[in-house]
Amino acid sequence: MKRRISSIGMVCVVTVVLIFTLSLTAQAVEWKMALGDASGGTQWEVGTQFAKLLEKHSNGKITVALFPNGQLGSEQETVQNCRLGTLDLAVVAINNVTPFSPKVGLLTLPYMILSLEDAVKLTQGPIGQQLTEDTIKAAGVRILGWAYSGFRVLTNSKRPVRRVKDLKGLVIRVPKNAIMIATYKAWGINPTPMAWDETFTALQQKVVDGQDNPYITNYVMKFYEVQKYVTNIRYLFSLEPLIISEGLFQRQSPETQKILLAAGKEASEHCRQFIIAKEDGIKKELVKLGMQIDDPADNEKEFIERATKKVWPKFYKSIGGKDKVAETLKMLGREFPF
């Protein structure tokens, strides 16, 4: 009789353990994160670090699967899918968020950001917080963190470019972003708007002569195979927000929301340190791979004057007004350049 009771007790214990295990398994979820760039770049770095932190601090209840190289669609498509709630997370260039949340265009005004320190100060301070709130309202996505990718340098396959006049006759690919298009027009050419996933092929087939992206992106995307010349311009610092569907965020418990915000902040700092450690080495590697790097003439003076005077006033209204630009410059310790 005792053996029978003992057997029944053992069965009960096993059943309880099995139910508990199944309960834990049922709670565990895997979220999908879209990346426009290849693995090895800053998008991958901020995404993988975020995924590690989220899994650790959620005790394994939330894991993240990363899909690089635009596997889940173009960057603007992934923003839209996060907005609709059909995609959980994405890391995208900020210029691909601007069509959904025009006020973040403040951070894409040419020569607004002049250093990594400027980029961090703006994204991690009150202006960054306000832009996050604006993006939640306008786009239905929340910015959890930032990839700091460096300045978008100009590359082309035809000749060195050191002055604005050297751009004449070059066909330059740009993202489908009004501010970036206007910047190249201010420099005297009509750029070719093109989706990111079409760019390498277009360069390879000579449909376009050049493009601009950070050094690390040029490296991981192997643009050195189809581009020869680099112009070390600094008109736009490449910021790539890590976004989450706001609907998904709001469905989480307060504790999980705190974990998400903390993981995003820590992943941003990790990415800042990553680009500091890697960028100089990448430049040297690109030279070894056959690229020629030139600085703009006269400290980029003509590029700066044309872009700021012709482009900024066109977008005051969409980014929140001239006063917002003045506030941003003041925070950076600068005054209006004109």
pLDDT tens digits, one per residue of 267-285: 999 999 999 999 999 999 9
16 lies in some domain = no
Find all residues with CB under 8 Å of 65, minimum gap 6, and list them. Answer: 30, 31, 32, 33
23 lies in some domain = no
46 lies in some domain = yes
Q: Look at residue 3 and tell me whether its pLDDT is greater than 80.
A: no
174 lies in some domain = yes
Beta strand 237-245 pairing with 141-151: antiparallel
pLDDT > 90: what percent of the chain?
90
56-76, pLDDT tens digit by residue? 999 999 999 999 999 999 999
10 lies in some domain = no
At 97, which CATH number? 3.40.190.170
161 near 229, Cβ under 8 Å?
yes
Q: Look at residue 24 and tell me whether its pLDDT is greater than 90.
A: no
**Residue 196 to residue 180: CA distance in whole angstroms:** 14
275 lies in some domain = yes
Record the pTM: 0.89
Q: Look at residue 20 and tell me whether its pLDDT is greater than 90.
A: no
Per-residue pLDDT, 27: 74
Q: Look at residue 244 and tell me whether its pLDDT is greater than 50.
A: yes
Determine which of 20-24, 48-52, 215-219 has the lowest per-residue pLDDT on average: 20-24
Quote the strand ranges of 60-101, DSSP E: 62-67, 89-91
243: pLDDT confidence band, cut at 50, 70 and 90?
A: very high
Burial of 44 (0-12, 13-18, 19+ CB in 10 A): buried
Number of structural domains, the chain?
Answer: 1
291 near 283, Cβ under 8 Å?
no
Per-residue pLDDT, 232: 97
Print the domain residue range for 95: 29-331
268 lies in some domain = yes
336: pLDDT confidence band, cut at 50, 70 and 90?
A: confident
68-125, pLDDT tens digit by residue? 999 999 999 999 999 999 999 999 999 999 999 999 999 999 999 999 999 999 999 9
Amino acid in position 52: K
Beta strand 62-67 pairing with 153-156: unpaired
Sign of the CA dihedral 123, 126, 129, 133? Answer: negative
Per-residue pLDDT, 12: 46
The answer for 70, left when phi > 0, alpha when psi is -120 to 50, beta otherwise, is left
In order, the DSSP letters of 139-163 are: HSEEEEEEEEEEE-EEEESS----S
Tell me which long-range contacts 246-249 makes (C-beta under 8 A, separation of at least 24).
246/136, 246/140, 246/141, 246/142, 247/85, 247/140, 248/31, 248/85, 248/88, 249/142
Angle subtended at Cα 44 by Cα 94 and Cα 147, rounded to the nearest 5 degrees: 35
Per-residue pLDDT, 19: 40
